[in-house]
């Protein structure tokens, strides 16, 4: 891998559910230290694209590359599957995903939630993982919540715990799927601050978001998806300040009006 090799690269990706084509040939590259935001209407393929990146969904055509290494496949079309489970696990553990619904384990404390994957998936030393987990919970502003359970936290605190859990895997990149859309506006700002701090540190991130201000503030590149294709992409200033496509202009005016 050279310094110019993207951490994540998607080439000509096609994804369908039965006869419904969701992605129709998408190309995206996330260089190291860059933040890519994916915007677009519901059903445009944003979340599906992110799930294909993290190999939670199988695509029917195209390539997914991690640090220049292509995923190996067997079969074709709807029967196409990754051919090497070890490769899938290695790539997935390097691409930590933060979901819209926090997906914390209700029966575990916040500290246990954050420690679980590094212990069970990466088989790391418990004392080292605990030290790291406490530091990441401190980093996202809930270091005092280690011993409480998810149900005792607000939505914003739960999402920050989910981000700490993702960070504790020490991933090469973070994938966020609508990280603030399940939150009330005041709680949303807690999570936005954490994401901005991570972007300022130069972490590689791909973010699916409905929050245009967040996309404008943290992104190196914003990608506007429409009906499974990239309609327009570019730097936030250009995309939001001087959109070329009629569809993007319509989308942005509808977003501002909402």
Q: Could you please report the per-residue DSSP string of the chain? A: --TTS-SEEEEEEEEEETTEEEEEEEEEEE-TT-EEEEE--TTSSHHHHHHHHTTSS--SEEEEEETTEEPPEES-GGG-EES-HHHHHHHHHHEEEE-SS----TTS-HHHHHHHHHHHTS---HHHHHHHHHHHHHHTT-GGGTTS-GGGS-HHHHHHHHHHHHHTT--SEEEEESTTTTS-HHHHHHHHHHHHHHHHTT--EEEE-S-HHHHHHH-SEEEEEETTEEEEEE-HHHHHHS--SHHHHHHHHHHHH-
The CA distance from 64 to 72, in Å, is 9
What local confidence, expressed as pLDDT, does residue 258 receive? 57
The CA distance from 206 to 215, in Å, is 10
Cα dist. 118→90, 184, 196, 255 in Å?
13, 30, 25, 39
Tokens of 105: 């384990």
**Contact by Cβ (8 Å): 71, 82:** yes
Predicted structure pTM score: 0.94
What local confidence, expressed as pLDDT, does residue 186 receive? 86
Q: Which CATH number fits domain 8-102+173-257: 3.30.70.100, 3.40.50.300, 3.40.50.2020, 3.40.50.720?
A: 3.40.50.300
pLDDT tens for each residue of the chain, 258 residues long: 567 899 999 999 999 999 999 999 999 999 999 999 999 999 999 999 999 999 999 999 999 999 999 999 999 999 999 999 999 999 999 999 999 888 899 999 999 999 999 999 999 999 999 999 999 999 999 999 999 999 999 999 999 999 999 999 999 999 999 999 888 888 899 999 999 999 999 999 999 999 999 999 999 999 999 999 999 999 999 999 999 999 999 999 988 765
What local confidence, expressed as pLDDT, does residue 120 receive? 95
Q: Give exposure, 108-135, as e/b (b: 16+ Cβ within 10 Å).
A: ebbbbbbbbbbbeeeebeeeebbebbbe
**Contact by Cβ (8 Å): 5, 204:** no
What local confidence, expressed as pLDDT, does residue 206 receive? 97
**Total Cβ atoms within 10 A of residue 17:** 10
The CA distance from 161 to 114, in Å, is 7
The CA distance from 168 to 131, in Å, is 10
Q: Which residue has the tokens 């230290």?
A: 33
């Amino acid at each position: 891998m050279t310094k110019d090799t993207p951490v994540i690269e998607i080439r000509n990706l096609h994804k369908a559910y039965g006869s419904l084509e969701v992605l129709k040939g998408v190309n995206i590259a996330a260089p190291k230290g860059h933040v890519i935001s994916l915007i677009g209407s519901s059903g445009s393929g944003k979340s599906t694209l992110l799930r294909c990146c993290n190999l939670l969904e199988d695509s029917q055509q195209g390539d997914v590359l991690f640090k220049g290494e292509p995923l190996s496949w067997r079969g074709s079309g709807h029967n196409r599957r990754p051919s090497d489970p070890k490769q899938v696990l290695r790539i997935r553990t390097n691409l930590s995903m933060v979901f819209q619904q926090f997906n914390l384990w209700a029966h575990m404390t916040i500290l246990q939630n954050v420690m679980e994957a590094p212990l069970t998936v990466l088989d790391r030393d418990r004392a080292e993982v605990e030290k790291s987990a406490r530091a990441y919970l401190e980093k996202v502003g809930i270091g005092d919540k280690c011993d409480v359970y998810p149900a005792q936290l607000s939505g914003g605190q739960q999402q920050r715990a989910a981000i700490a859990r993702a960070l504790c895997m020490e991933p090469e990149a973070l994938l966020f799927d609508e990280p603030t859309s399940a939150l009330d506006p005041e709680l949303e700002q807690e999570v936005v601050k954490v994401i901005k701090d991570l972007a300022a540190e130069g972490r590689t991130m791909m973010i699916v978001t409905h929050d245009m201000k967040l996309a404008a503030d943290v992104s190196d590149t914003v990608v506007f998806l429409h009906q499974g294709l990239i309609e327009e992409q570019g730097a936030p200033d250009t995309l939001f300040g001087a959109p070329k496509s009629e569809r993007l202009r319509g989308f942005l005016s509808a977003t501002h009006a909402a």
